[in-house]
Chain A
């Protein structure tokens, strides 16, 4: 039995998965990022191997993805997380043709073809509004953990309209609304709505083709799921393994190469720049 690995080195977390030669998920692991991306990559690899009870030599092909993909020294190939998310989403939801991934630092909308190939993509990674970081500002202002924001927002009956488009001023606006006597849930729902609107705009830019999959850390926020479905007007697929979608996609690319008879030694290595 041969195995492949997918390593996703993001800006907030590092994830790893191992698949067997038939594409079955053997193990997965996730850690918070350290400042040294190379070290984090090494660590996640060790964890996912340990979890599978395998030696490194059992892995015949490793694909690295995420912003830190070039820091994965043991990676055989680097593929962007855009392609990997598309692939990972299709594997779990074979009818999905659009993926919206809202992470802590960036958001991507990807339109994919029948074979999981990327047709178009759009990203928001310069501005924090429209990413998970906007919720981070809310978490700070309300002194609540991120995981509690969604459930509280869902209790809102009169959402407040949030007009600030900059995360820097979001806290000030939230505090202002609370001072005026608005309920926290209404303010929160307003913030969620603001994010949903911006993300929906990204989706429209690439073209909404059903089914739509919502992935990334923020997909665990139930309020976001509800709002996005409302704003986009279609139901959303949400994976229980949303955080691993990129790593799974990477591993699937590795499997492609193995099945095509291509081994790492056949590749011309592209060095990190």
Chain B
């Protein structure tokens, strides 16, 4: 009997996905009671496969923080963090999490978040490491920093099996072995390579389906909005990664989207413009942001967010070799880092490619004031893409979860002007074609 079918009879994939995420959040609250060890992990670079093999319950502080935005609790948490002494310029996710700590771990979802037995902070975002240092001081949980070397320059090529790839993978594997030793210490269990292979097999299937789901949006009309529906799908991909439930969900989702494609059913009733999104959502005004675009018939067919915030495996196009689970984990993690996760710094080519693959009419850049990882060079990237490729682009700015940076009138103004620009462009092109 399917693990999720009983609870999701007749529900669409999006609603099912939301329920699954809520179910997972709720289970975090009872982890301690059930005697399960708890690990804090991040979406860009982690070792979930290893941690699942040891039976850890996974907490994603990034998801906790984005949920405070979605549930309108961020301002209070952020204010507590700033009162505590954090500079306003610090990442708003970190501040929301500090607010959670100062609120006795009582999360607005109703869950009492457990404190971690282990924190794995990857080097894909340096703030992860500073964040983990805060937990060290608050909870006494030593940080495990997982250094995953990324792309060194824009045209960096490190094909699977090349000496450079193997050198980097060897480094990552060495750290995985250290992590395994730490897990054995914490859980009292011995590392089970077969269990790791099992988890990896589930991830493989989830990723295989995810890659196809991402590609479905190349159809016209796009069956889902990558920056709205896509966020729920991705939430499940992260929270249930490597589980049977996760695989079943991706199958459900795949079937549903395939059906829409077959019926020519689009996300937007009258799709007028297809767009690529670069950056993160504004979680505190998620729906409103999308509505501003969809009201003009604009749909986000693709986004770089769905790659880097979902582990980046889709970019690597590789799957784990479950006959050599640990070595393969290191090799694939390294490739995912270099081809997907560290792309913020060199994303101009990838975005141009996405524009082509998805037959997009323009790129929307969403800059985040408190996130330097995503936004430092966005203006330069945009300038390059606009000039070199002649692509229409829009730059808007707000924050991940801090509502103080959302200015509805100003953002609407820019979005409206962008669509006027796209319309004018289309009119001119059709005149030229005559």
| Residue positions of A touching B, CB distance < 8 A | 67, 78-83, 113, 115, 117-123, 125-126, 205, 207, 270, 273
Pair A80/B413 contact, Cβ less than 8 Å? yes
Nearest-CB distance from B423 to chain A (Å)? 9
> Does the CB pair B393–A118 fall under 8 Å?
no
Q: Which residue on chain B has the smallest CB distance to residue A123?
A: B414
B417:A80 contact, CB within 8 angstroms: yes
**Residues of chain A within 8 A of B1, CB atoms compared:** none
Cβ contact within 8 Å between B428 and A115: yes
Residue of A nearest to B431 (CB): A115
Residues of B within 8 A of A125 (CB): 407, 410
Given A67-B413, A113-B428, A126-B397, output 6 extra A-B contacts at Cβ < 8 Å.
Answer: A80-B413, A83-B417, A117-B424, A117-B425, A123-B414, A270-B295
Taken together as a complex, chains A and B put the C-alpha atoms of A83 and B393 apart, in Å, by 15
B386, B395, B410, B421: which contacts A117 (Cβ < 8 A)? B421
B27 CB, nearest partner CB in chain A, Å: 39
Taking the closest CB of chain A, its distance from the CB of B270, in whole angstroms, is 11
17 A–B contacts, CB within 8 A, in A order? A80-B413, A80-B416, A80-B420, A82-B417, A82-B420, A113-B428, A115-B424, A117-B421, A117-B424, A118-B424, A121-B414, A121-B421, A122-B395, A123-B414, A125-B407, A207-B386, A273-B412
Residues in A neighbouring B410, C-beta threshold 8 A: 123, 125-126
Q: How far is the CA of A83 from the CA of B427 in the complex (A)?
A: 15
Judge whether B186 is part of the interface by a CB distance below 8 angstroms: no
A52 vs chain B, min Cβ distance (A): 28
Chain B positions 291 through 325: 1 when the CB is less than 8 Å from some CB of chain A, otherwise 0: 00001000000000000000000000000000000
Give A79 to B425 CA distance when docked, in angstroms: 16
Give the contacting residue for B420; candidates A67, A83, A123, A273; CB below 8 A.
Answer: A83
The answer to whether B383 touches A118 (Cβ under 8 A) is no
B348 to chain A, nearest CB (A): 16
Residue of A nearest to B386 (CB): A120
* A118: contacting residue among B397, B409, B421, CB under 8 A: B421
The interface residues of chain B lying within 8 Å CB-to-CB of A119 are 392, 421
- What 3 A-B pairs are tightest by C-beta distance, nearest first? A117-B424, A82-B417, A80-B417
Docked complex Cα distance between A83 and B395 (Å): 16
B residues bordering A, Cβ < 8 Å? 295, 379, 383, 386-387, 392-393, 395, 397, 407, 409-410, 412-414, 416-417, 420-421, 424-425, 428
> Cβ of B420 and Cβ of A118 under 8 Å apart?
yes
Cα distance A81–B410 in the bound complex, in angstroms: 12
Query: Which of B395, B410, B417 has most chain A Cβ within 10 Å?
Result: B417
Closest CB-CB distance, A214 to chain B, in whole Å? 20
* Min CB gap B322→A, angstroms: 49
B58 shortest CB reach to chain A, Å: 37
Question: Are B417 and A207 in touch, CB under 8 angstroms?
Answer: no
With known contacts A115-B428, A117-B421, A120-B393, A205–B383 Cβ distance under 8 A: yes
Q: Contact: B421 with A67, CB < 8 Å?
A: no
Q: What is the chain A residue whose CB lies nearest that of B425? A: A117
User: Contacts of B393 on A, CB cut-off 8 Å?
Assistant: 120
Report chain B residues within 8 Å CB of A121.
Answer: 414, 417, 421
Whether the Cβ atoms of B428 and A117 lie closer than 8 Å is yes
| B379, chain A: closest CB distance, angstroms | 7
Cβ-defined partner of B387 (8 Å) among A78, A207, A270:
A207
Contact B379 A205 (CB under 8 A): yes
Residues of A within 8 A of B417 (CB): 80, 82-83, 118, 121
User: How many Å lie between the Cα of A214 and that of B416 in the bound state?
Assistant: 23
Closest residue of chain B to A122, judged by CB? B395
For B392, the chain A residues whose CB sits under 8 A away are 119-120
Complex Cα gap A270–B420 (Å)? 14
Instruction: Determine the distance from Cα of A264 to Cα of B386 in the docked complex, in whole angstroms.
Output: 35
Q: Which residues of B are found within 8 Å of A117, using beta-carbon distances?
A: 421, 424-425, 428
Tell me, in angstroms, the Cα distance from A125 to B417 when the chains sit together.
15
Please report the C-alpha to C-alpha distance between residue A113 and residue B416 in the assembled complex, in whole angstroms: 18
Contact of B409 with A67 in the complex, beta carbons under 8 Å: yes
Report B-chain residues with C-beta under 8 Å of the C-beta of A122.
395
Q: Within the complex, what minimum Cβ distance (angstroms) separates B394 from chain A?
A: 9
Write the chain A residue with the least CB distance to B288: A273
* Bound-complex Cα distance A65 to B132 (A): 49
A residues less than 8 Å from B409 (CB atoms)? 67
How far does the alpha carbon of A117 sit from the alpha carbon of B432 in the complex, in Å? Answer: 14
Q: How far is the CA of A118 from the CA of B393 in the complex (A)?
A: 12
A80 nearest in chain B by CB position:
B417
Q: How far is the CA of A273 from the CA of B408 in the complex (A)?
A: 10
What residues of chain B lie closer than 8 Å to A79, measured between beta carbons?
420
Smallest Cβ distance from B208 to chain A, in angstroms?
Answer: 40
A126 touches B407 (CB 8 A): yes
In the docked arrangement, what's the CA distance between A83 and B418, Å? 9
Tell me the complex Cα distance, A120–B392, Å: 7
Report the Cα distance A58→B413, complex, angstroms: 30
